Amino acid sequence: MTSGWIVWVAAALVALAFLTSTWLLVVPSRAVPIDRRRWSAAHTEETTGWGHRVVQWVDSRLGGRDFARRWAHALDRAGIRLPIAEFLLLVAVLAMVAFAVGFVMGGVVVGLLLVVLGLLGLLAVITLRSERRKAAFADLLDDVVQHVATNLRAGHSTVQSLETVGREIDEPARSELLRAVNQVRIGRDLGDALLETAERMDSDDFRWVAQAISIHRQVGGNLGEVLDTVSHTVRERQQVRRQVKAISAEGRMSAWVLIALPLVVGLGSALLNRDYASLLWSRPLGLAMLAYGAVSMVVGALWMRRVVTVKF
């Protein structure tokens, strides 16, 4: 009786933690005024004690590493305003809680399955948000380039044109353009700021825009006409991208189903018929089958991702 109550309480705590983390990651934050985004006026939440030291230690270990930079860009692209060190610590805590609950409910294997499912779910949330914001940015890029060209013809400077368009355009282009403008105002080169925006949003089209603006600043010429040509190219590439996405939609959905199906079936078997599923981790042959299945799933996931990803 007591163990049953422990399981239910632990499951409730995991559900609460999952819902809280999902709310923080999925629900977009409210718009913040530009003056509050500046470094001098930014509001930083102070942490004290060992928590602050742990965050600093993780941040020092991650400094300058490529995977940390890629994950930071992924979080930015997903609209998750959370430092990479705090994000990894949050994931680690949730993984430990999930493993503890799974261990109480069905042993080590169930705990590991819960951790794997939780990490895959979190990765799916981040990927989904990233792809949505990336697609929204790509959809707005043609309008952004056209409006910048129009403002340039009206006599505005490049930075003024970007700021004007940034204040009028929808998200996520608004925050990205204004972020680049703010970086220029504190002394950063315009070309570098725009190239960082293109890298952060993983947009080859905007990278062309940044390169066109950088080249124009070096050699001169009519930037408005150059941006008109770039806008036409961006519009045609966007049409092709939509066609490719529609054609590959079935393959991408099949890949997600095939990846999730073994994990869901394994977790269900371990929970519903533990004696039957325990043969996989209580005997050498079962452990070998689990290892082979894990390697096959990784290889299959990478292969399916390569098949459904079209580069042009």
Distance separating alpha carbons of residues 222 and 152, to the nearest angstrom: 9
Rounded-to-integer distance, Cα 204 and Cα 230, Å: 12
Confidence at 79, pLDDT banded by 50, 70, 90: confident
**CATH homologous superfamily of 138-234:** Type II secretion system (T2SS), domain F (1.20.81.30)
d(CA 137, CA 214): 21
DSSP annotation of 31 reads: P
Residue 148 contacts residue 124 (beta carbons within 8 Å): no
> Which residue type, as a one-letter code, is found at position 180?
A
**What predicted TM-score, i.e. pTM, was given to this entire model?**
0.63
Q: Please write the tens of the pLDDT for every residue from 103-155.
A: 777 677 777 877 887 887 788 888 888 888 888 888 888 888 889 888 888 88
Question: Which of 64-78, 116-130, 192-206 has maximum average pLDDT?
Answer: 192-206
Give tens-digit pLDDT for 2-61. 455 555 555 555 555 555 555 554 444 444 444 444 433 344 444 445 556 666 666 666
What tokens does 103 get?
């261990």
* Separation CA 221–CA 212 (nearest Å): 11
